[in-house]
Amino acid sequence: MSPKGISRRDFVKGALVTGSAAAASAVLGACQPAPAGANIPAKWDKEADVVCIGFGGAGAVTAITAADLGASVIILEKEPKDTDTEVRHTPSTRMCGGLFVCPTDPVKASEHLFALSWGATPKDVCDAWGKYAVENAQWLEKMGIELIPTDQYLGKGEFPELPGGDSIQARRVKGNGPALFQGLAAQVARRRSIEVIYKTPGKELVTDCSGMVIGVIAESEGKQIAVKAKKAVVLTCGGFEWDEEMKRNFLRGYPSFFYCNPGNTGDGIRMATKVGAALWHMNVISGRVIPKFPDVVPAMQGGTPDGFILVDKLGRRFFRERPWASHSAWLEVCKFDTSITDYPAIPCYSVFDDVALKKGAPANGQPKGLGADGKQQNWYTWSKDSVEEIKKGWVLKGDTIEDLAKAIAADPENGGRMTPEALKATIGEYNRACEAQKDDKFGRDPKTLIPIKQGPFYAIKLYPGGPNTQGGPKKNAKAQVLDGNDQPIPHLYCVGELGSVYGFLYPTGGGNVCEMIAFGRICGENVVKEKPWS
């Protein structure tokens, strides 16, 4: 059944389900299905009922749930532990804005997720998501995590016109992502049946002769260790935001950049495909248009201060800047133009004037997390009045609109396509719309029609990207990883953005945090039911 008002033909065309294990093998090279039982170690260095690969929000919720139901859990974490002075462990949950979707109605929420995916996520998976997602706020409060009261913050969905859209709402954790992860990590630390091992990335899944996953080969202090999983292995190690080859082959537009954990390099995809996992949603991200500067890892948010327009390489506006579906706006820049053999809007440019710049930093660095002293550490702090960023060339500047156009044209990624005449005409047309308080071209909200008149003038390059990728191992309603025949790979599960349920469009800010809480609990409940293999 297609979303209301969409033809069956467009529904099928729009499903865009990509990335079977066979297709992925061309990109992933050596990650071919391994012979079952070929890598069973002679001895195990460690063992637990459940082994989670990755200590972010997904790993934390899964481990907490499984431990509370009587399981022993080992979490293998790629990054090092924080020191007394430095945040070094930076999962995306710790870096996020602290939003989470908490729908009001499970049935409507399921309908909405199915509509958002254009049918790329099966209805029973949507049902499971809806059933658990409505309890997200209650679960977090049970964990002692403080939420902002609903009368102070209550966000809405980005696609209310799709079925079930009126059920979508978002809440926020007090203190945002750093406080959210601090609360989850504290809960993990309180449970004696959970052990976290840092600087120990999972490298390979171990299977027995039947193909059942029985453990993990990891790397710790330069040596391989074998970790036995008596009931299940759960992949909770994030997406492929920092793997250029995967992004180039799977995502719709290139280049793309992200402001998430730099440790997300597609490890779970490689491990899963090697044991025969199918992939899904590989061409989907939760994405905006964002600034990325060469001197800073990761990318930043923002770049769009009050009184801005977005223009492509030729100086043309190309879509409605406000309001927009913030977490799906990346789709607007991914149109390839065969007449110029290029993406006209990758990068695009946020153009604004001195009035807008003086209102505050036009972009901001992501938080790393709360340090041992309770203070938030960030990847980058923007300078006062943007002086340093202009000096570095991150913010392009021109005393006149014509001068700004020449500065943009001189950028190698523009290749001289921008002309002073084109940019001046575009800004002139926009300013006339501001005077009339009516944007005939794109229907921009009149409240956001702020003119661009006071020089100097500025521009920031923006790329498709944002919080995270969504692709990875295909899973069912129990969070079990599926093979190419849609059969569960025994004792293998995945949770989080790795193999996310979001198959095309994204509901609103906090969608992935919502999923990690919902499916972390689903997974934790199901792994403990597995019969121990030994």
Instruction: Give residue for tokens 């920031």.
Output: 460
d(CA 67, CA 49): 10
pLDDT score recorded for residue 27? 54
pLDDT score recorded for residue 270? 98
Looking at the domain that runs over 15-284+470-527, which CATH code has it been given? Answer: 3.50.50.60
Q: Where are the domains of the chain?
A: 15-284+470-527, 287-466
pLDDT score recorded for residue 238? 98
Q: Which is nearest to 264 in space by CA: 285, 282, 237, 301?
A: 237
pLDDT score recorded for residue 362? 96
pLDDT score recorded for residue 33? 65
pLDDT score recorded for residue 34? 63
pLDDT score recorded for residue 17? 38
pLDDT score recorded for residue 295? 84
pLDDT score recorded for residue 5? 42
Mean pLDDT in order along the chain per 10 residues (534 residues):
39 37 49 70 97 98 98 98 97 97 98 97 98 98 97 94 97 97 98 98 97 97 96 98 98 96 98 98 97 94 95 97 95 95 97 97 95 96 95 97 98 96 98 98 97 98 98 98 98 98 98 98 98 90
Instruction: Give residue for tokens 């009339």.
Output: 436
- Whether this model's pTM surpasses 0.85: yes
Domain 15-284+470-527 and domain 287-466 have a common topology? no
- So what CATH class is 287-466? alpha beta
CB–CB of 245/503 below 8 Å?
A: no
pLDDT score recorded for residue 39? 82
Half-sphere exposure of 436 (CA within 13 A, CB side): 12
Give 315-329 pLDDT, tens digit per residue. 999 999 999 999 999
